[in-house]
């Protein structure tokens, strides 16, 4: 049991006794968290790169595929909203395991889809995969030393970019053979990570401390609103309302940079730039490499300068790169721009993860983080349908221009958020 003195630390305004240096456990936690995000990302990105192949194999129209993909991202939002209170009530570890298990099960079931209906159902429920990073980030964010919190969170979130690189190479020969189902059998891997987490990961010090405070509050019949059952309403109290709105709305705009490449990029490069399937899929590898580097760089920078400043600068550059996608280009131009949008657009997520975690106190960090990431994911719900509608209208080049305007709005929105100085413990920030 955690000592009462530790349990009361945060109530007195002091930080719980957490690691000040990078221990072996923190390294292990970073590895497990990164693998969790990578395997969940593999499942999600496999759905996107196989879009064209599945469409023709199962005889689904382009518009219906757009609606099915929107359903997948809708489930991402729902799972983010639902898992938040669970994370704050039952723990960061349990939340991560639930997401991993659900993601793995429905990835495997997708492999046995026989038509639009079954594919649509499994694709919808498989949307839980994109909620995995949020739970993983809560785990590392609360146990990582303040001086490297940004770097480690950047590494974990980069697991999604690693998945993009891995999928681009693995899927090319698989899709060329027409055996897209194999990709989803590989997507069963999150179940293995959930089992590994059961034996190697423990609940965070801060959450255990919060649970101890709740038990003492229940025994003394305290009416402290901070110790009540966590809920969304706590995100809109006077002290949190503005920051909740800023991180959520800015994230909504930010995600259009990723949605363009990861949701419909392959289809866009085939239709607009007339690339072959192999060249179009490999563009994701360059985006993934750019995102991987960008997320680690952004995380490293956020340990030295306020993460808000990092995001504004990177998103502005990302808007310029997205705009350039409206130019007809060959393989070289598409791959170059894909790498750059990964660096500046996907890379921004490395700072966003830290900024979101630091925007909320421990009592609602899970709820606040998943709410913000849920709104972030919400932009991908209409994106497939909107993108396919624009492409079907005969003006596909308007898709990247549309996305460029939106992520520039995201950069402006961040300017209204708090400036959070690096190298502070979470409770110092919350106070």
Q: State the pLDDT at residue 15.
A: 47
**Phi and psi, residue 316, nearest 5°:** -65, -45
Specify whether the backbone of 330 is left (phi greater than 0), alpha (psi in -120 to 50) or beta. Answer: beta
Q: State the pLDDT at residue 267.
A: 77
- The sign of the CA dihedral 112, 388, 160, 280 is positive
Query: Cα dist. 114→53, 121, 122, 195 in Å?
Result: 14, 11, 11, 30
**Phi and psi, residue 360, nearest 5°:** -130, 145
CATH topology of domain 4-11+18-211+230-430: Growth Hormone; Chain: A; (1.20.1250)
- DSSP 8-class letter at 364: G
Task: Find, among 176, 172, 171, 134, the residue nearest to 156 by Cα.
Answer: 134
Q: Provide CB contacts within 8 A for 395, sequence distance 6+.
A: none
Rg of the chain over CA atoms, in angstroms? 21
Neighbours of 387 (CB within 10 A): 27
Tokens 């899927």 label which residue?
171
Tokens 């949020």 label which residue?
134
Residue 231 contacts residue 85 (beta carbons within 8 Å): yes
Q: State the pLDDT at residue 257.
A: 78
**Phi and psi, residue 356, nearest 5°:** -65, -50
Vertex 69 angle, CA 38 and 338, to 5°: 55
Helix (H, G, I), strand (E, B), or coil: what is residue 374? helix
Alpha-carbon gap, residue 86 to 141, rounded angstroms: 17
For the full predicted model, state whether its pTM sits above 0.75: no
- DSSP 8-class letter at 363: G
Q: State the pLDDT at residue 370.
A: 81
Q: State the pLDDT at residue 408.
A: 95
Give the mean pLDDT per block of 10 residues along the chain (431 residues). 36 48 84 91 81 79 76 80 81 90 88 85 84 84 83 85 81 80 86 92 85 72 57 79 94 84 76 82 83 88 91 95 89 91 89 87 82 82 76 83 92 94 70 50
Q: State the pLDDT at residue 247.
A: 95
Q: State the pLDDT at residue 337.
A: 92
- DSSP 8-class letter at 15: -
Q: State the pLDDT at residue 226.
A: 55
> Each residue of 358-399: pLDDT tens digit?
888 877 888 888 888 888 877 777 777 777 788 777 788 888
- DSSP 8-class letter at 346: G
Task: Find, among 254, 361, 378, the residue nearest to 308 by Cα.
Answer: 254
Q: State the pLDDT at residue 5.
A: 35
Task: Find, among 29, 34, 15, 83, the residue nearest to 366 by Cα.
Answer: 83
Q: State the pLDDT at residue 3.
A: 37
Burial of 167 (0-12, 13-18, 19+ CB in 10 A): buried
Alpha-carbon gap, residue 372 to 77, rounded angstroms: 10
- Token pair for residue 229? 């059952």
């Amino acid at each position: 049991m955690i000592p009462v003195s530790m349990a009361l630390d945060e109530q007195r305004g002091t930080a719980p006794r957490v690691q000040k240096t990078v221990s072996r456990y923190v390294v292990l936690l970073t590895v497990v968290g990164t693998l969790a995000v990578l395997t969940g990302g593999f499942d999600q990105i496999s759905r996107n790169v196989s879009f064209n192949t599945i469409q023709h194999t199962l005889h689904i129209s382009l518009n219906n595929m757009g609606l099915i993909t929107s359903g997948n991202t809708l489930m991402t939002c729902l799972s983010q909203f639902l898992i938040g209170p669970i994370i704050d009530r039952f723990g960061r570890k349990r939340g991560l395991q639930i997401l991993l298990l659900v993601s793995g099960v429905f990835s495997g079931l997708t492999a046995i889809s026989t038509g639009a209906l079954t594919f649509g159902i499994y694709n919808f429920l498989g949307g839980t995969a994109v909620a995995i990073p949020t739970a993983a980030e809560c785990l590392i964010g609360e146990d990582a030393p303040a001086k490297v919190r940004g770097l480690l969170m950047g590494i974990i979130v980069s697991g999604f970019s690693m998945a993009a690189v891995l999928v681009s190479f693995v899927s090319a020969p698989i899709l060329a053979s027409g055996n897209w189902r194999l990709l989803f059998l590989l997507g069963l891997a999150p179940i293995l990570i959930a089992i590994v987490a059961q034996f190697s990961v423990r609940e965070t010090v801060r959450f255990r401390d919060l649970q101890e405070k709740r038990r003492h509050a229940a025994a003394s019949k305290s009416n402290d609103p901070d110790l009540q059952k966590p809920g969304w309403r706590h995100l809109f109290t006077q002290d949190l309302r503005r920051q909740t709105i800023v991180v959520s709305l800015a994230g909504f705009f930010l995600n259009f940079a990723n949605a363009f490449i990861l949701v419909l990029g392959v289809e866009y490069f085939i239709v607009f730039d007339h690339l072959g399937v192999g060249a179009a899929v490999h563009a994701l590898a360059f985006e993934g490499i750019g995102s991987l580097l960008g997320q680690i760089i952004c995380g490293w920078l956020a340990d030295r300068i306020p993460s808000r400043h990092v995001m504004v600068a990177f998103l502005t550059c990302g808007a310029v790169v997205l705009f350039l996608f409206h130019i007809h280009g060959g393989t070289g131009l598409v791959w170059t721009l894909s790498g750059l949008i990964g660096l500046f657009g996907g890379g921004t997520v490395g700072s966003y993860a830290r900024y979101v975690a630091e925007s909320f106190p421990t009592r609602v960090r899970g709820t606040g983080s998943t709410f913000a990431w849920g709104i972030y994911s919400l932009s991908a719900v209409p994106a497939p349908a909107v993108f396919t509608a624009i492409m079907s209208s005969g003006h596909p080049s308007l898709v990247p221009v549309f996305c460029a305007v939106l992520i520039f709005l995201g950069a402006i929105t961040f300017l209204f958020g708090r400036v959070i100085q690096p190298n502070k413990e979470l409770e110092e920030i919350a106070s």
